[in-house]
A and B are shown apart, each in its own frame.
Chain A
């Protein structure tokens, strides 16, 4: 594997770490209720 390939995989792995952090944050017990509020808010009558 050359340097470019290692860099390519490195970026992929870095993005995976960021993605894993997003999953952990979204599904943390603390944010359980908070994470669902938007789906109720969008249903509120909003037309003029």
Chain B
């Protein structure tokens, strides 16, 4: 049978642009972390924490995260379906529209235009751009799946389809708003309904953009790297459907102890706890896939990224449900524990898998051997240490903060003022900022290694690239 000619140019472009936006996200993240410890680094009106923080989160989620989703999905779908991309032209349009949307988002957020909804701050014209962008992407991927020449649908395709459909529904429902001018709109929902829809979106954006796609990548790139199949395809299918079944009910755990109806909070708490099962189904599937292959953790730098990444997924999906329990939530919600939790997921799980995916892709799409495996190993340690400094310091800070907020004198008055609790945070915030710098150093090593791979890497065939990983 004649082999299909896959479109790699578009994958290259998305890889490159996702790295650009990833660098912006981390750079802005480091800047805002220093603004926290040194408020004089705020330069009103544009370069203040309030305006830069949403740029950090949106560049991270939509620029880096979604950029990597675009690159890897367009690579994987062609190979898993054994057919070229349905429309390369549509993918090219998607590339430029993606960058236009990210730039428009950054500029408007910097100018102070915001809906004030977390992870959905962009105003209504950009919402329309996001929807057009996602529909173009979804149509291309789904049409490629429909036209596939491979009868068997591998688990990664299921996660990809869930992400395509899930993100579309979540974004459109949460974007329902009434425009009153070119850059101002009001939510179509009011009060607790608005909060409920916002966190249904917010938590499931994590599910459909930051969980399903990295799982699709993990299930694809782990066996491709080790050359050994996953432990159980049937377990992966059950984990998938149970994840999809349970995730969409958990958003209200962000609203425990609020005026949202009590039974919705309880339902969200119960489903959050049940979610441990499908999450750990994938973690165990990953670990069991390494049976007899654990030596590759030492021999193959990609395996190290993938297995440590899935380990952080396991930790994240255990910590998350614990936080969704009412009593625990009452203690740690609104403290620095929460950003530590989020960053273990984004820096430890999602980005670790994204780095592994890009390391797998670049030698193949450029036909060059990786410039330096030692540099890849150095980057691994820098991002691991940076993330741990970040997360551990803020877990401690969060517990300290919660303890001080809830401490009471015998007469029932609060022991500490809010300012006293803030002053106690400074040492931990310094460690967080230092952790961010270490992580940024890891990103710079990563970019240097990739640039040198493209410019000076030795020419390689797919076979030599595959063998090189195990050198």
Residues of A within 8 A of B (CB): 1, 5, 8, 12, 15-16, 19, 22-23, 26-27, 32, 35-43, 45-48
List chain A residues, Cβ under 8 A from B233.
35-39
Pull 10 A–B residue pairs with CB atoms less than 8 Å apart, ordered by A.
Answer: A19-B245, A26-B238, A27-B234, A32-B234, A36-B234, A39-B223, A41-B152, A41-B154, A46-B79, A48-B4
Are A48 and B5 in contact, CB atoms less than 8 angstroms apart? yes
- Known pairs A23-B238, A47-B462; A36 contacts B232 (CB<8 A): yes
Contacts of B154 in A (CB 8 A): 38-39, 41-42
- On chain A, the residues within 8 Å of B3 by CB distance are 46, 48
User: A45 to B237, alpha carbons, bound, how many Å?
Assistant: 23
Extra A-B contacts (10), CB below 8 Å, given A37-B152, A42-B223, A47-B364? A5-B263, A23-B241, A35-B233, A36-B232, A41-B152, A41-B154, A42-B154, A42-B224, A47-B79, A48-B3
Chain A interface, DSSP helix/strand/loop, else mixed: helix
Cβ contacts under 8 Å, A36 to chain B: 232-234
Rounded to whole angstroms, the CA-CA distance of A1 and B263 in the bound complex is: 9
The answer to whether A27 and B82 have CB atoms under 8 Å apart is: no
User: What residues of chain A lie closer than 8 Å to B155, measured between beta carbons?
Assistant: 38-39
Is B80 among interface residues, defined by CB-CB distance under 8 A?
yes
Output the least CB separation between B252 and chain A (Å). 11
B243-296 at interface with A (beta carbon < 8 Å): 245, 249, 263, 267
Mostly helix, strand, loop or mixed at chain B's interface? helix
Q: B241 — which chain A residues lie within 8 A by C-beta?
A: 19, 22-23
With A12-B249, A26-B238 as known contacts, state yes or no: A43 contacts B364, CB within 8 Å: no
Q: Is the CB of B364 within 8 A of A38?
A: no
Nearest-CB residue, chain B, relative to A4: B261
**Closest partner residue, chain A, to B245 (CB atom):** A19
Interface centre among A1, A15, A36 (most CB of B within 10 A): A36
Give B190-226 interface residues, CB cut-off 8 Å to A.
220, 223-224
- Contact call A42/B245, Cβ cutoff below 8 A: no
Q: Contact check, A42 vs B238: say whether CB atoms are below 8 A apart.
A: no
B230 within 8 A of A: yes
**Nearest CB on A from B369, distance (A):** 15
A39 to chain B, nearest CB (A): 4
The reply to whether B263 and A38 form a contact with Cβ atoms under 8 Å apart is no
CB-based nearest A residue for B155: A38
A38 and B153 contact, CB distance less than 8 A = yes
Does B80 contact A42, Cβ atoms closer than 8 Å? yes
User: Which of chain A's residues have a CB closer than 8 A to the CB of B80?
Assistant: 42
* B364, chain A: closest CB distance, angstroms: 7
Check B245 against A43 for contact (C-beta < 8 Å).
no
Q: B298: CB under 8 A from chain A?
A: no
Is A46 in contact with B152, judged by CB distance below 8 angstroms?
A: no
B60-100 near A? 1/0 per residue, CB < 8 Å = 00000000000000000001101000000000000000000
Residues of A close to B249: CB separation below 8 A: 12
Across the A-B interface, give the 8 residue pairs with the lowest CB-CB distance, nearest first: A38-B152, A39-B229, A39-B233, A35-B234, A38-B154, A42-B154, A47-B462, A46-B79
With a CB–CB cut-off of 8 A, which chain A residues contact B6?
47-48
Query: Using Cβ atoms and an 8 Å threshold, which residues of chain A touch B242?
Result: 19
Closest CB in chain B relative to A47 CB, distance in Å: 5
Chain B residues closer than 8 Å to A1, beta-carbon distance: 263
The docked-state distance in angstroms from the alpha carbon of A39 to that of B150 is 12
Q: Which residues of A contact B245 (CB under 8 A)?
A: 15-16, 19
Residues B223 and A41 in contact, CB atoms below 8 Å apart: no
Once the chains bind, are A40 and B82 in contact (CB under 8 Å)? no
B220 x A42 contact (CB < 8 A)? yes
Tell me how far the C-beta of B226 lies from the nearest C-beta in chain A, rounded to whole angstroms: 10
Contacts of B152 in A (CB 8 A): 37-38, 41-42
B82 touches A46 (CB 8 A): yes
Residue of A nearest to B79 (CB): A46
Residues of B with C-beta under 8 A to A37:
152, 233
Whole-angstrom CA separation of A47 from B3 in the bound complex:
8
B338 CB → nearest A CB, Å: 27
